[in-house]
Amino acid sequence: MENDIRTLTVKLSKTTIKIVIRCGEKFVEHEIQVNLVLSYYWSQNLPIVENFLELIENVIKNSVRSVFPHKKLKIKYDLRANDSLENASSIFIEFLEVKADDTLFETLNTIIALEGVDERSSLSKFISFRRKIRKIIEKEL
């Protein structure tokens, strides 16, 4: 049924990430200005990737809550980076599951790929295979 459709969609452009949550006839869309957010983290000397992930999680949490009231939200995503989070110049996030209470939201186009300037030395790039990240993150918010 059309009214039972629940989805999470991520829309990317060069400068923004749009998180769209749909539950039946209700939907909400939030836009994140990537350059602005990352510049702020950098200027405040904050851990960029960790704060960015927290921002995305909170945007999803608040978006789902606005169209589907719930007590707990479970988010599961695949996180990949070409180095440790502090030194990574390439981050890949794929949302695998979003569940509000026991209600599953279908994930559509839920890949976020960020690539920055790689300022690591040649040696650091060469030995980064030891520090590369590839893990599934599961959180309850």
Residue 29 β-bridge partners: 20
The tokens describing 37, both together, are: 């957010």
Structure confidence by residue, pLDDT tens digits, 91-141 = 899 999 999 999 999 998 888 988 765 565 665 555 566 677 889 999 998
Structure confidence by residue, pLDDT tens digits, 35-67 = 999 999 989 999 988 999 999 999 999 999 999
Give the pTM.
0.85
Q: How many domains does the chain have?
A: 1
Residue 97 β-bridge partners: 76
Dist. CA 42–CA 14, nearest whole Å: 19
Strands 26-33 and 16-23: antiparallel
Q: Which range marks the domain in which residue 18 is found? A: 2-140
The tokens describing 58, both together, are: 């909170």
> What is the SS3 assignment for 85?
coil
